[in-house]
Amino acid sequence: MRLAELHAERHIYFLKKEMDIYESAYEKWQKNKKNGQEPKFIQNQSLQSINTATQILRNVVNQYPNHPRTPDALYQLGFLLTEMRSDSSLLYFQRLTERFPKSKFIPDAHLAIGEYNLSSNPDN
């Protein structure tokens, strides 16, 4: 769990660094009157870190389904997958609410499920 948390924190660190690089390149491009190709936002290190974190958490919830920290792992996994805009985040939030109804993460999981449903059905 701690290793996954470390990789999630690294994701945020690298994402900020990558954003700074992009913003600097974009400002330079604008000052040059938009000559040349527009800079692209590249997320190599941040994506690698978040992918590593989600893989570790998947291993935890699959290998230790009854561990006392499994609800924590399910919530973190759902949260990180939401950050990645992955529909599979819903599955982990649902698994958390079904298997651990007394978990301290239940209110947040229900909120995440509701937000997912609202964003996937804009007509409602």
CATH number, domain with residue 95: 1.25.40
Domain assignment of residue 31, given as a range:
2-120
One-character DSSP codes across 18-79: HHHHHHHHHHHHHHTTT-SPPP----HHHHHHHHHHHHHHHHHHHH-TTSTTHHHHHHHHHH
User: Structurally, how many domains does the chain consist of?
Assistant: 1
Say whether pLDDT at 107 is over 80.
yes
pLDDT in tens, 53-105: 999 999 999 999 999 999 999 999 999 999 999 999 999 999 999 999 999 99
